[in-house]
Chains A and B, each alone.
Chain A
Amino acid sequence: GIQVEQSPPDLILQEGANSTLRCNFSDSVNNLQWFHQNPWGQLINLFYIPSGTKQNGRLSATTVATERYSLLYISSSQTTDSGVYFCSAMEYGNKLVFGAGTILRVKS
């Protein structure tokens, strides 16, 4: 099955800083999604991005499908951005395979 690797595993930022999270996947995919799990455990769908670039406020994501990676950019980070960011790729049957996540801590 598809393997999904995320880096870095941990990241500590000062409020206002920018960051880039990376996701590598082992096979070609037609469905790549980013999720944010907040400190209360809720999983929020950030982006559906099988290819190209999308932006939503301070967050943007880019997937280069031919090179099997995706990037999540967080600009002007805020304490509310803290939590775990998961990348996931879809296998046959709409099943998501998740990476281990990047734990982000934004300090004020």
Chain B
Amino acid sequence: TAGITQAPTSQILAAGRSMTLRCTQDMRHNAMYWYRQDLGLGLRLIHYSNTAGTTGKGEVPDGYSVSRANTDDFPLTLASAVPSQTSVYFCASSDSGGFGYTFGSGTRLTVV
């Protein structure tokens, strides 16, 4: 089934450790996004990429980095995790005009 695959589904991470959340799409969408969802705050944009080779900062980028080496993959890296990064992380993609917005199933990350 076409869509977005995120891995891992969940993870418990020790504070100070690094981790990469993986995201792959097979819809050939140009744009990809990372959001975090926290109770009462809805979804907030961390980083985005409008096309392969380019990235941009969203509303809450601090402590996270991304890369977009090709169209399909958009990994999110936490260099040194802190407890405030405990959240559910969603990857999404869309075409260039913002149509066809599709979300992955999410990664539940707990930093202890």
Shortest Cβ distance from B102 into A: residue: A45
- The interface stretch among B19-27, B37-45, B66-74 is B37-45
- Is A94 touching B41 in the complex (CB atoms < 8 A)? no
Task: State whether A95 touches B40 (Cβ < 8 A).
Answer: no
Bound-complex Cα distance A43 to B96 (A): 20
Cα distance, A7 to B62, chains bound together (Å) = 30
Taking CB atoms, residues of chain A closer than 8 Å to B94 are: 94
The answer on a CB contact under 8 Å between B97 and A94 is yes
B50–A86 touching, CB < 8 Å: no
Cβ of B63 within 8 Å of any chain A Cβ, yes or no, is no
Interfacial chain A residues near B40, Cβ < 8 Å: 100
Please determine whether B102 and A95 come into contact, CB atoms closer than 8 angstroms: no
Q: Does A66 count as interface, using CB distance less than 8 angstroms? A: no
A95 and B48 form a contact (CB under 8 A): yes
- B43 contacts A86, CB within 8 Å? yes
Q: Are A94 and B48 in contact (CB under 8 A)?
A: yes
Map CB proximity to A onto B51-90 as digits: 1 under 8 Å, 0 otherwise.
0000010110000000000000000000000000000101
Q: For A88, what are the chain B residues with a Cβ–Cβ distance below 8 Å?
A: 43
Chain B residues whose CB sits within 8 angstroms of the CB of A83 once the complex forms: none
C-alpha gap A10/B31 in the complex (Å)? 32
Is B99 in contact with A48, judged by CB distance below 8 angstroms? yes
B: interface residue count bin = 20 to 34
- Is A31 located at the chain interface by the 8 A CB criterion? yes
Q: At the interface, yes or no: A69 with Cβ under 8 Å from chain B?
A: no
Mark each residue of chain A from 1 to 43: 1 if its CB lies under 8 Å from any CB of chain B, else 0: 1000000000000000000000000000001010100000111
User: Shortest beta-carbon distance, B45 to chain A, in Å?
Assistant: 5
**Known A100-B42, A101-B42: A45·B33 in contact at CB below 8 Å:** no
Q: B8 at the A/B interface (Cβ < 8 Å)?
A: no
Residues of the B chain whose Cβ atoms lie less than 8 Å from the Cβ of A95: 33, 45, 48, 58
Beta-carbon contacts of A67-108 to B below 8 Å, as 1s and 0s?
000000000000000000010101001111111110000000
Q: Is the CB of B98 within 8 A of A31?
A: yes
Could you give 6 example pairs across A and B, Cβ below 8 Å?
A42-B106, A45-B103, A94-B96, A97-B45, A99-B42, A101-B42
